[in-house]
Structure formats: C-alpha cells, structure tokens
C-alpha cells in the first residue's frame, strides 16, 4: 500500500468522515440505493428509474439543465447583489465598477447574462420536447400547467433583470415591453402604474423590478419547481417511451 | 398450483358460456364440495422456476446521475467560455430623453413587437400573449380524446403545435435580424439590397 492509499484509507475510516458520509462508496445495488435515498440533494430522484428515461436522446436533459441554469443564476446573482444598488443614480456606475474593479465581476455578470438567455431558451425547448412526446397526457395534465407557469416566471425573471444595468438597452427594452402591456382594456393605466410605479420607467420601476427579480420571482419559481419535480415522481416518473 | 394472489378487480368471475368452458372452468366446483380452490393451472416447469417480471429499470446511481452530472459539467464549461470570451452588452447610461435609433424589447418578446407592426397594440400586446399563455395551459384539457403519444398517431396536435412554433419563431427572427432604425425593414449584411445595413440592430 502506497503512502497516498494509506492516507486515503485512514481518512475514510476516521470518525469524522464516517459521521459525514454514512455509507461507503456505492458499489453494489444496495449501497447505490442508499446513496440516492440518504442524500438530501439526490433524493429528488427515485432509487431506480425506467431505462428509457435514462436515454439522453429522450429528454436531452432540457428540464434538468433549465434547473441547473436556475441554480447557476442564483449563485452568480447573489454575488452580483453585493455590488449593486437599485438606484437610478448609482446602478449604472455600480455595473461599470463591477466590470472593472470587482474580482471576477465581469465574468460573473457575463455568466449571469448568458445563463439567463440560455435558461429562457432551454425552458422553451423543454416545453417543445414535452409536447412532442405527448407527456402532458393524463395523469400529467396539471404538471404541464405548472410548467407553463414556470415558463411565464422564467420570462418575467429575465425581463425584470433586463432593466437592472440601467443603460439605454435596458431602459428602452423595458419601456417597449411595458408599453405593450399598457394596452390592456380597463387595466391599462392602473396596470402600468402598478408595474412601473409611475407612468414611465424611473426610480420606482428600478426598485420594483429589483425586488421582483431578486426576491419575489425566484421564490415563487422555486415553489413551483418543487411542485413540478414532486409531481413527476407522483405521476410515476417521466412519461413512457414513444 | 401456486398461491398467486390477484388484485381485487380481476377476481370478479363472470358466468361462462357452456360452449366456451375452459379447463379452469371445468375444474371450478362449489366451495362446499372441495376444501380447496383452484387458482390457476400452470405448466409443470413454471412451478419450479417462478419467473421474475421483466424489469426495465436501472439504478439511478450511476445510470441517471452520471448523465446529469456530465450535462451539468458541459453546461458549466460552456458558460465559463461564453463568459470569458463574450462580454454582456452595456451601453450608455439610461436616458429617457434620447430615443436610440433602434429600440427593441428582449428577444423573447420580439415576436410580439413584430406583431405590433401589423396589429393594434391591444391585439399584439394583450390578446395574443394572453391567448398564448392561457392556450398553452389548456392544451392537456383540449387534447383529451386521443391517448396516443406517438407523433404518427396524433398528427393534428403535432402539426398545429409545430405551425404555431414556426410562426412564433419566424416573427421573432424577423424582429431580431430584419428590423433596423425606427423599426424599419432592413436586410443585414447584403450591400446590393437597397435597404441593407452593415450589421445587426440587436443586443442580447
């Protein structure tokens, strides 16, 4: 036994290690079942899944990657929050500072931006995949509805985040986007005032979009995701092969 | 004879036409006459080798999780490379008094903005998105009668949905690539067209 192997073995046998990882490395069926069942992150999955569900070409991992992008966006978003004030006078300067003076600031902002666009795109693709597999058929009808809500939340997350850099792209994209919503019958002026906190995009809008972007929509989306994933399990895993 | 216990709903025995009596039916006599019941007739070898039901499942670890971890890893590398080599756009400070030459909504709304060029805003901005969202949510309740999942057995649904997606994608594409200053129709990069522009009027 080499030195490294001996160190490895003694670490794995130590009481600290065994208090953290209750099971040895999963090698047989029983320990593999425990590995999934006893792990808080992995127990999202059942211990066994149907064979067709494992094929990459069946799902293309689209739903899973949407969720993964949500996690990436949460982590990068929290980092960005340390350097950002939702104020019409400060926000733009914060972004400039973030890009030039904050460690990994530019990279984090880039990843957050591209990840956000990618997430909207992947949720669209996931929806198309589910449709073409007829995976919304009973008993999964309501999970499709939850999915549509999640698509809406994803778009709203992206849309509210779009304003935060407070540059010309952001300002005019949100102006156009909210103008479209402002044509709702009866609800046009109150709707716009509610969304923008005024008749045009300004400080109130920035604060509203910020709170919606970093708190309200992520929490609501997380809630709907929990329901979405839970129902997949309750409906017997993902839909059958074609 | 095996003591297989069947689920309740399959144990209801319908009266059998005498001409169609099977071996099991001939053996079926009132309980009072015999102290045991015939549950099933099985072939000789099946008694000794009870066959397991065909199992089409695999262990989640490693079969599913390894694929998931790999996909997540590839996505991470892709995002890292994107983040390293392509910078997120940032223009001048927001100014409500200076309208930019091209003002476009985020790309996923450009289909709607394109509709705005043809229809009244209450149609393009309210009716269509409302119809799309509510309609999408209602799909499973409309498409109820056909239980098939294979595309060849549900052509109407597949064709309608595909047409709808192609329509949306086309509008979005026009909005992204073929709309320039003042939201006029332009053709990017091709100088021999009269309304050509040298570059895209689009920011992600």
Q: Note whether A90 and A143 are same-domain residues.
A: yes
Q: Note whether A187 and A202 are same-domain residues.
A: yes
- In the structure encoding, which two tokens stand for residue B68, read together? 């998931």
Highest mean pLDDT, choosing among A17-26, A112-121, B11-20, B22-31: A112-121
* B73 touches B65 (CB < 8 A): no
In a domain, A4, yes or no: no
In a domain, A2, yes or no: no
In a domain, A218, yes or no: yes
The minimum CA-CA distance between B194 and chain A, rounded to whole Å, is 27
In a domain, A211, yes or no: yes
* A223 touches A70 (CB < 8 A): no
Minimum-distance CB partner of A177 among B75, B106, B140: B106
How much is the mean pLDDT over chain A?
Answer: 93
Strands A48-50 and B187-188: unpaired
Which CATH number does the domain housing residue A148 bear?
1.20.810.10
Closest CA to B101 of B17, B186, B173: B186
Chain A contact for B91 (CB, 8 A cutoff): yes
Q: Note whether A18 and A117 are same-domain residues.
A: no
Max CA separation in chain A (angstroms): 79
Q: Which residue of A has its CA nearest to B77?
A: A111
- The yes-or-no verdict on residue A104 having pLDDT over 70 is yes
Residues A135, A141, A144, CA angle at the centre, nearest 5°? 70
The whole-number pLDDT of residue A200 equals 87
Closest CA to A232 of A73, A50, A20: A50
The whole-number pLDDT of residue B1 equals 45
Cβ contact B67–A144 (<8 Å): no
In percent, the amount of chain A with pLDDT more than 90 equals 75
The minimum CA-CA distance between B92 and chain A, rounded to whole Å, is 5
> Model confidence over A155-193: pLDDT tens digits?
999 999 999 999 999 999 999 888 877 777 777 778 788
d(CA A219, CA A123): 18
Query: Which residues 140-199 on chain B approach chain A with CB closer than 8 angstroms?
Result: 140-141, 143, 147-151, 154, 157-158, 161, 165
Cβ contact A166–B93 (<8 Å): yes
Q: Which residues of B touch A41 (CB under 8 A)?
A: none
Chain B contact for A107 (CB, 8 A cutoff): yes
In the predicted model, what is the mean pLDDT of residues A96-124? Answer: 97
* B107 touches A113 (CB < 8 A): no
Q: Note whether A28 and A134 are same-domain residues.
A: no
Q: Note whether A160 and A89 are same-domain residues.
A: yes
Kindly report the number of other CB atoms within 10 A of residue B1's CB atom.
11
- Domain range for A23 is 10-48
d(CA B202, CA B107): 9
Chain B contact for A59 (CB, 8 A cutoff): no
Query: pLDDT class for A113, splitting at 50, 70, 90?
Result: very high
d(CA B88, CA A121): 17
Q: Note whether A118 and A216 are same-domain residues.
A: yes
Q: Which residue of A has its CA nearest to B147?
A: A137
Query: pLDDT class for A17, splitting at 50, 70, 90?
Result: very high
Tokens 């808080």 correspond to A40
State the best of B88, B113, B151 to mutate against chain A, taking most chain A CBs within 10 Å: B88
How high is the ipTM of this complex? 0.92
> Quick one: angle between helices A105-132 and A62-81, nearest 10?
160
The whole-number pLDDT of residue B35 equals 58
Minimum-distance CB partner of B58 among A54, A120, A201: A54
> Model confidence over A64-92: pLDDT tens digits?
999 999 999 999 999 999 999 999 999 99
In a domain, A223, yes or no: yes
Query: Which residues 160-219 on chain A approach chain B with CB closer than 8 angstroms?
Result: 162, 165-173, 175-177, 179-185, 200-202
State the best of B54, B67, B78, B79 to mutate against chain A, taking most chain A CBs within 10 Å: B79
Residues A42, A45, A46, CA angle at the centre, nearest 5°? 125
Tokens 């069942």 correspond to A37
Tokens 């593999």 correspond to A32
Q: Note whether A29 and A122 are same-domain residues.
A: no
Query: pLDDT class for A236, splitting at 50, 70, 90?
Result: confident
The whole-number pLDDT of residue A182 equals 72
The whole-number pLDDT of residue B199 equals 77
Query: pLDDT class for A210, splitting at 50, 70, 90?
Result: very high
* A94 touches A83 (CB < 8 A): yes
Q: Note whether A56 and A117 are same-domain residues.
A: yes
In a domain, A5, yes or no: no
d(CA A11, CA A3): 12
CATH code, residues B102-204: 1.10.287.980
Cβ contact A169–B91 (<8 Å): yes
* A163 touches A209 (CB < 8 A): yes
Residues A225, A63, A35, CA angle at the centre, nearest 5°? 80
> From start to end of chain A, where are the E strands?
48-50
- In chain A, the number of structural domains is 2
Say how many CA atoms lie within 13 Å of B133 toward its Cβ. Answer: 14
CATH 1.10.287.980 occupies which residues in chain B?
Answer: 102-204
In the predicted model, what is the mean pLDDT of residues A53-67? Answer: 94
The whole-number pLDDT of residue B122 equals 83
In sequence order, what are the residues at sequence separation of 6 or more whose Cβ sits closer than 8 angstroms to the Cβ of residue A171?
A163, A201, B94, B95, B96
pTM for the model? 0.85
Cβ contact B140–A175 (<8 Å): no
d(CA A192, CA B50): 70
Q: Note whether A164 and A113 are same-domain residues.
A: yes
Q: Note whether A15 and A101 are same-domain residues.
A: no
In sequence order, what are the residues at sequence separation of 6 or more whose Cβ sits closer than 8 angstroms to the Cβ of residue A22?
A34, A38
- In the structure encoding, which two tokens stand for residue A28, read together? 């047989």
- The yes-or-no verdict on residue A198 having pLDDT over 90 is no
* A214 touches A224 (CB < 8 A): no
Chain A contact for B101 (CB, 8 A cutoff): no
DSSP character at residue A167? B
Local confidence pLDDT in tens for the 204 residues of chain B? 445 555 555 555 566 566 666 666 666 655 555 556 667 776 666 555 555 666 788 999 899 999 999 999 999 999 999 999 999 999 999 999 998 888 888 999 999 999 988 998 888 888 899 999 999 999 999 999 888 888 889 999 999 999 999 999 999 999 999 998 888 898 888 888 888 887 788 888
Chain A contact for B118 (CB, 8 A cutoff): no
Cβ contact A148–B112 (<8 Å): no
d(CA A94, CA A83): 6
H or E stretch covering B187: strand B187-188
H or E stretch covering B197: strand B196-197
Handedness of CA A163, A169, A175, A176 (dihedral sign): negative
């Amino acid at each position: 036994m080499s030195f490294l192997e001996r160190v490895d073995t003694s670490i794995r046998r130590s009481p600290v290690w065994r208090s953290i990882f209750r099971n040895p490395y999963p090698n047989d069926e029983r320990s593999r079942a425990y590995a999934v069942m006893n792990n808080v992150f992995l127990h999202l999955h059942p211990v066994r899944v149907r064979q067709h569900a494992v094929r990459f070409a069946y799902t293309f991992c689209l739903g899973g990657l949407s969720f993964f992008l949500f996690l990436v966006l949460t982590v990068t978003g929290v980092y960005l929050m340390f350097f950002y004030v939702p104020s019409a006078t400060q926000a733009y300067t914060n972004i400039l500072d973030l890009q030039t003076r904050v460690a990994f600031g530019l990279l984090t902002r880039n990843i957050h931006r591209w990840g956000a666009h990618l997430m909207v795109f992947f949720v669209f693709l996931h929806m198309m995949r589910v449709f073409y597999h007829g995976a919304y058929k009973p008993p999964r009808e309501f999970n499709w509805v939850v999915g549509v809500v999640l698509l809406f939340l994803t778009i709203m997350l992206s849309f509210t985040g779009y304003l935060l850099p407070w540059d010309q792209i952001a300002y005019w994209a949100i102006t156009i986007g909210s103008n479209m919503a402002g044509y709702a019958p009866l609800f046009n002026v109150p709707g716009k005032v509610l969304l923008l906190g005024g008749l045009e995009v300004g400080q109130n809008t920035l604060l509203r979009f910020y709170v919606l972007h970093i708190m309200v929509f992520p929490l609501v989306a997380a809630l709907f995701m929990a329901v979405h994933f839970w129902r997949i399990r309750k409906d017997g895993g993902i839909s059958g092969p074609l | 004879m095996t003591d297989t216990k069947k689920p309740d709903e399959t144990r209801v025995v319908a009266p059998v036409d005498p001409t169609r009596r099977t071996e099991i039916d001939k053996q079926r006599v009132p309980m009072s006459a015999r102290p045991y019941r015939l549950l099933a007739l099985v072939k000789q070898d099946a008694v000794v080798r009870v066959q397991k039901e065909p199992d089409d499942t695999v262990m989640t670890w490693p079969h599913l999780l390894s694929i998931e971890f790999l996909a997540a890893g590839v996505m991470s590398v892709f995002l890292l490379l994107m983040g390293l080599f392509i910078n997120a756009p940032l223009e001048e400070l927001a100014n409500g008094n200076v309208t930019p030459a091209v003002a476009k909504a985020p790309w996923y709304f450009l289909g709607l903005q394109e509709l705005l060029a043809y229809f009244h805003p209450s149609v393009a901005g309210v009716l269509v998105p409302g119809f799309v969202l509510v309609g999408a949510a209602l799909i499973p309740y409309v498409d109820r009668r056909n239980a098939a999942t294979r595309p060849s057995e549900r052509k109407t649904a597949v064709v309608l949905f595909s047409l709808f997606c192609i329509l949306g994608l086309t509008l979005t594409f026009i909005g992204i690539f073929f709309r320039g200053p003042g939201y006029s129709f332009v053709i990017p990069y091709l100088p021999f067209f009269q309304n050509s522009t040298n570059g895209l009027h689009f920011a992600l």
